[in-house]
Structure 1
Amino acid sequence: MPRALVRISTFLTLAVLLFSTWSFAKPRPAAALDPFTGYLMAHFIGESARGEQIYLAHSKDGRNWTDLNSGGPVLLSTVGTQGVRDPALVRSPAGDRYWIIATDLRIASGTSWSDAANRGSKSLVVWESRDLVNWSVPRLINVAGGISGAGDAWAPEAIYNPATGDYVIYWATNSALNGVTKHRVWYVRTSDFRTVTAPQLYIDRGTGQGVIDTQIIEVPSSLGGYRYYRASADGQITVEGSNTILGTWTRIGDLQRLGISNGATGGNVVEGPMWAQTNGTNEWHLWLDQYATGRGYMPVRSTNLGSTQNFATRTDYSLGTNRKRHGSILNLTGAEESRVLGKWGSSATVKRIQSYNQQTRYVRHSNFDVRIDASVSPVQDSQFRVVPGLANSSGYVSFESVNYPGYYLRHYDYDGVLAANDGSTTFAADATFKQVAGLADGSWSSFQSYNYPTRYLRHYNYLLRVDPISTATERGDATFRITN
């Protein structure tokens, strides 16, 4: 991509950007009254090199989980600390818009917990989607900047508030208040997950007790006496009820009798409470992250959230291969479930790109450079999703990495690289190619650059480039086959 670019009008720039961001599909919205058929869990897996990113798992019964995307991350953060924890899935009431919000934190980078809590990010990472499978580039929203002495912004959640017609985002911030420094839960309101109101204090347990993790679930039938229930990790796992999200909450109880706490009374020490209603029933599970023992999530069952006396642990569940850390669960409609499994399920199609004149070699990324190699290990480095072109979805394609989701094959100064989609029109154009009949063999394919149509993808000394093609050797170098 030469530095000198053709100027595009403001109107066209905005049009292309919006088109490239949202043109993949116009699915039928998951209307609020559609029956739910499955479950989607968003989570992170720990402090490994790529553990603090967005992972997904699927379940048909709400208890037994299968990792999606072959166990790899489905979204990578390229903003802030370039790591995320504690993701929350949010659906609009009409089912036509979705968001993932997450803590902007990457302990694996060498950050200490003290630095993270006292000098950490005051922003949250946000992704947005219209179909639950094609996501925007990540962005930051500063939620805690208005809190005096704020040290961080952790464990975000969000819920639609019909009383105000917008969303309440709530999270924990470590700061001093009334001479006491600790984590308290704060909230802001938003209608678009871009602009927010000034932060307001939401949960403060008093004395020296901090609270970080809390999650609210809506029970429209008000079974148990309340429309909303929340579970908070505040030394115990405290369950409360209310009929308004921003009104007064009544303490219902905790899980001490089950030998479960958040550390105040020992036993099985857990965090990250995560609610889910069993589809079509008056049964709920409160999933708890057994972080102290490293065993991951466990479910606690209830058929009436208005009393903790009926809460009971259960053992008939499985979590798949990945360790599930603090996340959230979304009940899926049939349309949503079909899209999610179609992209990331076991039957989802991923492709490899085989060289025509070096047929033991396949296009792969290595240290974010793109080349052709034989015996690629791990094989995921040579696997791509062939998606509609980011700059033009009609007759053009783009190649998204399977194990680096959100990263695409693009050219930069005519060199082939793997790079994160920054949402710009320049990136979209550099990552878009027209699939045409193979220049060396019409039964194969060649890939013409979208913004430099006299140039094609080819390998040279095994490195991928976009070049003009004239000789027989160059035609062979520029010919490939997309294969499973």
Structure 2
Amino acid sequence: MPRILARLSAVLAAACLLFTSWSVTAARPAAALDPFAGYLMAHFTGESANGEQIYLAHSTDGLHWTDLNNGSPVLLSTVGTRGVRDPVLVRSPAGDRYWIIATDLRIASGTSWNDAANRGSTSIVVWESTDLVNWSAPWLLNVAGGVAGAGNAWAPEAIYNPATGDYVVYWATNSARNGVTKHRIWYARTSDFRTVGTPQLYIDRGSGQGIIDTQIIEVPNSVGGYRYYRASADGHITIEASNSILGTWTTLGNLSHLGISNGTGGGNVVEGPMWAQFNGRDEWVLWVDQYATGRGYLPVTSPNLGSTGNFRTRSDYSMGGSRKRHGSILNLTAAEQSRVLARWGATTPVNRIQSYNYPDRYVRHADFDVRIDANVSPAQDAQFRLVPGLTGGSGHVSIESVNYPGHYLRHYAYDFELAPDDGSAVFAADATFRRVAGLADAGWSSFQSYNFPDRYVRHYGYQLRLDPITDAQARADATFRVTG
């Protein structure tokens, strides 16, 4: 009996400890369950040198957007094609994990659309985070590898499916099926975005009609009669509804009554439908990208998604400084919003960099070469932001172009150029400097190389170089004033 009592006592003690631990953990509400306070948009900007990377924008009302990180990309793909399009933000149901998934495609590298569609990547790019601001290195997830004859994997999306307790990833793949080659939507299931199940056909419009862009939103309380709504660019912008992500979908109509189509109906031709619910109320917005005219995203709002007759276009909106291309919107809790704005919300002042011994001349880029000139036109060619160094920690800076966000002054063979950040350690080192007291005048500044600390930024024949400084002339050439 004493032995039995001892065992019982140990079990009860362990149970109490487990209950106490569980209670402490359970008492903290998941961030995703807190009231929403703002909005975060992930997007790309186009086919420029750094346009096919991850950009973020923030809004407090869901209609007026401010570019984060001074309009520069916040994440760069270093895998696959080294470019990404169509980024999607995914939050776990508990609010303790986030993913960004995106198309592995970089048209700016010279890839043709035909090659990209028929001989492109069958993988998507994935990043992971536990706080929405510190992200893992990217990896490739081969979602379409199991589709016979797959030419690509474009415009990926993901949504948590409570019916199966995992995520449904869906995307467009161009392949032959029943003698017809076109883009169809496929899906697969994943629990961690590192492994994925066998792809299954999800949407096929029949005949020769292809479909690339589609996005699902879950609607609380099934306003309009359904739990899920889907917008697809399939010639029109077709709205469908269902009570099950992998169940039967009912077609509700399209946006043709607003003069909006994906080409079949003419009018305002758009793509990239992007859903969001306005915080704190039963009203939704479907953003559509007016790519045919280059006007960017247009909001179409509705208080009830159960009928397309409820949709109306809006004019009271602003997209910020950069063009937003196909992306996604995540409603933010106050805690999430605070973290995001603390990391990327501050605006770094715009400066010019004035020569000490040629005070009428300023550092500027011209055809991506770097020199000092007077009377710079356009003025933005001589405007930069001194941002925290891409490497090196406190006291180091990198010099980012204002009119080419994501492009930095970097030395290459001791000459200077304006180049897009490629995410490599070499680039970060070449584009990082320690700002020190001016070598010719302590009231001015000089810039010491991070990876060649015996060399400084200086001009020679009006061209910027990275040189050792050995005499008074060189000290004057290596001294600058950072001015507004």
TM-score (norm 1): 0.76
What is aligned with 2:247? 248
Counterpart of 1:61 in 2: which secondary structure? coil
Deviations 1:341-378 (A, max 9, x none): 77877954233332222222233333333332333333
How do 1:169-188 and structure 2 match up within 5 A? Answer: 169-188=169-188
Deviations 1:305-354 (A, max 9, x none): 3x125522134433457665533333344566567677877954233332
What is aligned with 1:24? none
Counterpart of 1:286 in 2: which secondary structure? strand
Maintained 8 Å contact 2:36/2:333 = yes
Quote the Cα distance in structure 1 between the aligned partners of 2:105 and 2:389. Answer: 30
What is aligned with 1:466? 466
Quote the Cα distance in structure 1 between the aligned partners of 2:87 and 2:131. Answer: 18
What is aligned with 1:476? 476
Maintained 8 Å contact 2:236/2:256 = no
Quote the Cα distance in structure 2 between the aligned partners of 1:86 and 1:182. Answer: 19
Letter in structure 1 aligned against 2:412: Y
Please report how far the alpha carbon of residue 439 of structure 1 lies from its aligned counterpart in structure 2 after TM superposition. Answer: 1.5
Compared CA separation, residues 294 and 458, structure 1 to 2 (3 A)? closer
Quote the Cα distance in structure 1 between the aligned partners of 2:427 and 2:323. Answer: 34
Q: Is residue 428 of structure 2 the alignment partner of residue 435 of structure 1?
A: no
Compared CA separation, residues 413 and 103, structure 1 to 2 (3 A)? closer
Letter in structure 2 aligned against 1:299: P
Quote the Cα distance in structure 1 between the aligned partners of 2:150 and 2:88. Answer: 22
Q: Is residue 36 of structure 2 the alignment partner of residue 36 of structure 1?
A: yes
What is aligned with 2:351? 351
Letter in structure 2 aligned against 1:471: D
Q: Which runs of 5+ in 2 are unaligned?
A: 1-29
How do 1:13-52 and structure 2 match up within 5 A? Answer: 31-43=31-43
What is aligned with 2:105? 104
Maintained 8 Å contact 1:129/1:136 = yes
Please report how far the alpha carbon of residue 215 of structure 1 lies from its aligned counterpart in structure 2 after TM superposition. Answer: 0.4
What is aligned with 1:61? 61
Q: Is residue 313 of structure 2 the alignment partner of residue 317 of structure 1?
A: no
Maintained 8 Å contact 1:39/1:329 = yes
Deviations 1:186-227 (A, max 9, x none): 234556666655543222233433221100112344434544
What is aligned with 2:378? 378
Q: Which moved more, 1:99-108 or 1:385-394?
A: 99-108
Compared CA separation, residues 471 and 298, structure 1 to 2 (3 A)? closer
Report which of the two structures shows the higher radius of gyration computed on alpha carbons.
Answer: 2
Compared CA separation, residues 372 and 324, structure 1 to 2 (3 A)? same
Quote the Cα distance in structure 2 between the aligned partners of 1:244 and 1:384. Answer: 51
How do 1:361-400 and structure 2 match up within 5 A? Answer: 361-400=361-400
Compared CA separation, residues 43 and 460, structure 1 to 2 (3 A)? same
Q: Which moved more, 1:134-143 or 1:347-356?
A: 134-143
Quote the Cα distance in structure 2 between the aligned partners of 1:161 and 1:482. Answer: 53
Letter in structure 2 aligned against 1:106: I
Counterpart of 1:328 in 2: which secondary structure? strand
Q: Which runs of 5+ in 1 are unaligned?
A: 1-29
Compared CA separation, residues 89 and 402, structure 1 to 2 (3 A)? farther
What is aligned with 1:331? 331
Quote the Cα distance in structure 1 between the aligned partners of 2:381 and 2:191. Answer: 39
Quote the Cα distance in structure 1 between the aligned partners of 2:453 and 2:332. Answer: 42
Compared CA separation, residues 101 and 256, structure 1 to 2 (3 A)? closer
Kindly indicate whether structure 1 or structure 2 has the higher relative contact order, using CA contacts under 8 Å at least 6 residues apart: 1
What is aligned with 1:202? 202
Please report how far the alpha carbon of residue 79 of structure 1 lies from its aligned counterpart in structure 2 after TM superposition. Answer: 7.3
Maintained 8 Å contact 2:277/2:284 = yes
Quote the Cα distance in structure 2 between the aligned partners of 1:58 and 1:280. Answer: 17
Compared CA separation, residues 382 and 165, structure 1 to 2 (3 A)? farther
Please report how far the alpha carbon of residue 56 of structure 1 lies from its aligned counterpart in structure 2 after TM superposition. Answer: 5.6
Letter in structure 2 aligned against 1:308: S
Aligned-pair identity in percent equals 69
Please report how far the alpha carbon of residue 283 of structure 1 lies from its aligned counterpart in structure 2 after TM superposition. Answer: 0.6
Compared CA separation, residues 191 and 446, structure 1 to 2 (3 A)? farther
Compared CA separation, residues 476 and 280, structure 1 to 2 (3 A)? same
Maintained 8 Å contact 2:456/2:478 = yes
How do 1:450-461 and structure 2 match up within 5 A? Answer: 450-461=450-461
Compared CA separation, residues 106 and 127, structure 1 to 2 (3 A)? farther
Deviations 1:55-101 (A, max 9, x none): 66554432345667887877787877676554434455536645262
Q: Is residue 300 of structure 2 the alignment partner of residue 300 of structure 1?
A: yes
Q: Which moved more, 1:251-260 or 1:77-86?
A: 77-86
What is aligned with 2:157? 157
Deviations 1:105-133 (A, max 9, x none): 5389583x545433444444566777767
Quote the Cα distance in structure 1 between the aligned partners of 2:330 and 2:225. Answer: 23
Maintained 8 Å contact 2:89/2:98 = no
Deviations 1:159-200 (A, max 9, x none): 345566665432211110122212101234556666655543
Maintained 8 Å contact 1:78/1:420 = no
Quote the Cα distance in structure 1 between the aligned partners of 2:85 and 2:425. Answer: 29
Q: Which moved more, 1:382-391 or 1:431-440?
A: 382-391
Counterpart of 2:31 in 1: which secondary structure? coil
